[in-house]
Amino acid sequence: MGLSEMRRKRNRFSRVGMLSIALLLALCITGVGYAAWTDEVSMEGTAKSGYIEVVLSPGACSGPQITCSVSAPHTLVVTLMDAPPGTYTCGFTITNTGTIPVKIQNIAVSVVPAGVEVSVLGVTEGMQIEQAGVYPDSVEGMVRVIVLESCIVSCSFEVAFSFVQYNMYIE
């Protein structure tokens, strides 16, 4: 092997060696740069929970023989006084003043006097009432009372409503 051949092999090694070292050095610098790069994220916030608030209001009644009032937050008391046989109605309004939509979980009519039939119209179990400010945030209903036998004295019964958060309703 001559001197010129040795120089050519050495130049090839030095070129390949220098390129390898440069690539290795670039990879190391990239790794160090990536490892040194950190970021921190801070978040602050306020969580507010909503609330359920439902208001039951009595409405107009069909005559002086029937009245309705609210005794507990969600209980309507219907009273008949000297009512001859016939059909009587008493309106009511349910308004959601809370921040969460609600559904009517249950409508329960207490013990009804003999000779009287009661039905609740306009609202049903499972009906959703939107939160305050969103339509419909109130619904109107009616208690229909059919007197089959004269109610000579005062007789009354209750219609109780229970409400749940809209996504907690169980059918």
pLDDT (tens digit per residue) in 79-110: 999 888 999 999 999 999 999 999 999 999 99
**Residue 46 within any structural domain of the chain:** no
Please indicate, yes or no, if residue 67 is contained in any of the structural domains. Answer: yes
Three-state SS for 52?
Answer: coil
Q: Is the pLDDT of residue 152 over 90?
A: no
Angle, vertex CA 159, rays to CA 71 and CA 127, nearest 5: 115
| Total domains in the fold of the chain | 2
The reply to whether 70 and 147 lie within a common domain is yes
Q: Do 26 and 69 fall within a single domain?
A: no
Mean pLDDT of the chain: 86
Does a cis peptide bond (omega within 30 degrees of 0) precede residue 136? yes
User: Are both 29 and 63 inside the same structural domain?
Assistant: no
Q: How far apart are CA 79 and CA 108, in angstroms?
A: 16
State the burial class of residue 70 (Cβ atoms within 10 Å of its Cβ: 0-12, 13-18, 19+).
Answer: middle
Domain assignment present for residue 152? The answer is yes
Residues 27 and 67 in one domain: no
Q: Do residues 102 and 144 share a domain?
A: yes
Which residues make Cβ contacts (< 8 Å) with residue 146, sequence separation at least 6?
Answer: 86, 87, 88, 116, 117, 118
The CATH code of the domain that includes 82 is 2.60.40
Same domain, 97 and 21: no
Question: Which contacts (CB < 8 Å, 24+ apart) does range 70-73 have?
Answer: 71/158, 72/160
pLDDT tens digits, 110-138:
988 888 899 999 999 999 999 988 888 99
16 assigned to some structural domain:
yes
What domain range is 94 assigned to? 54-168
